[in-house]
Amino acid sequence: MLSDKRLIRYILKKGSDQAWDELIRRYYNDLYFYLYRQVGHGDDALDLTQDVFIAALKGLNSYDDRKSSFRTWLFRIGTYKVIDARRKVKMTWLELKEVDWIEEKDFDNSLYQKELLDEINQFVASFKPQIQEIFRLRVYGDLSFPEIASLLGEKEERIKAQYYRLIKKIREEFSNHE
């Protein structure tokens, strides 16, 4: 299996579609689920996943493997795409016939969890963009603190401190939801 660095070199020097396809296959599912957890809708996550890969291909010559892994770099692009998408959100209405209903007790529980997650995401969105990014990369991207620190060019201790201060604020804000 070729390294990401080698695949990227093939893409940049030879325009290799095969190498690009391999990178997409390697990271597609992780990126999709990262985006899906943030937007909560499959079609939107698919569109964003495609947008991220297009942006990554266009900006591939600016990728620096000394600053972060390719996966981490993709997730950062994904974070910005989610922020952009949220700015453009327009309300759409569904017809009742389009909704798949589930058992009432399961529905109540899943509705509560979705509402709580939406409230937490809105709460996090009220903080500075870098704090939002740390939260999303850690929670939705499942990146380690060293990866996030490397990606953002910050000290790991500072990233941890900001993350845990935010988690404390989230717990304080939502302690009555338990």
What are the extents of the domains in the chain? 1-92, 99-178
What is the topology classification, in CATH, of domain 1-92? Rna Polymerase Sigma Factor; Chain: A (1.10.1740)
25-68 confidence digits (pLDDT tens):
999 999 998 898 888 788 889 999 999 999 999 999 998 888 88
117-144 confidence digits (pLDDT tens):
778 888 888 888 888 889 988 888 888 8
Contact 131, 83 (CB under 8 A): no
Distance between CA atoms of residues 4 and 12, nearest Å: 12
Contact 44, 127 (CB under 8 A): no
pLDDT beyond 80 at 12: yes
**Of the CATH numbers 3.40.50.150, 1.10.510.10, 1.10.238.10, 1.10.10.10, which one belongs to the domain with range 99-178?**
1.10.10.10
